[in-house]
Amino acid sequence: MSDKKTTDSVDQIRDILFGEQVKLFEKKINELQKTLSKHVGSLEKKITEASDQSKKNYELLQKQHSSDSDHLIQENRSAIENLQTNLSNQIIETEASVLNELEKKIAELADKATHRQELSQLLKKMSEQLKD
């Protein structure tokens, strides 16, 4: 038991000498732990908020991108339809122009053929007259 009394007395002496400092350290450690816990909690909250905001921004950008894509697709469709209309009109105009040219050339050829026939008949008559 003597050892126990010695140990108790040493603890009492230590408590007398360092007790106040130990209590201060324990108090400071507890305060630091509370402050650290508050900061960690605050950081977790901020990280969660930032993550949520990032998700919202991402979804907003996706919707905007989708909307922009749809708008571009619609613009391209309109442009293609306009090009098709213009091309069809040009084809019709070209076709009409070619047909007019063909008709003119056919008429010219018909006139030439008529002249040849007339010339041929005239030559035939002259040859018949010369034979007589």
Three-state DSSP string of 45-88:
HHHHHHHHHHHHHHHHHHHHHHHHHHHHHHHHHHHHHHHHHHHH
Who wins on pLDDT, 65 or 88? Answer: 88
Mean pLDDT, rounded, of the chain: 86
pLDDT grade, residue 24 (50/70/90)?
Answer: confident
pLDDT at 44: 95
In a 3-state reduction of DSSP, which class is residue 3?
helix
Answer whether residue 82 shows pLDDT above 60.
yes
**Alpha-carbon Rg of the chain, whole angstroms?**
55
Report the candidate in 56, 79, 59, 55 with the shortest Cα–Cα distance to residue 67: 59
Of 100 and 21, the structure prediction assigns the larger pLDDT to 100
Query: What is the structure's pLDDT at 1?
Result: 52
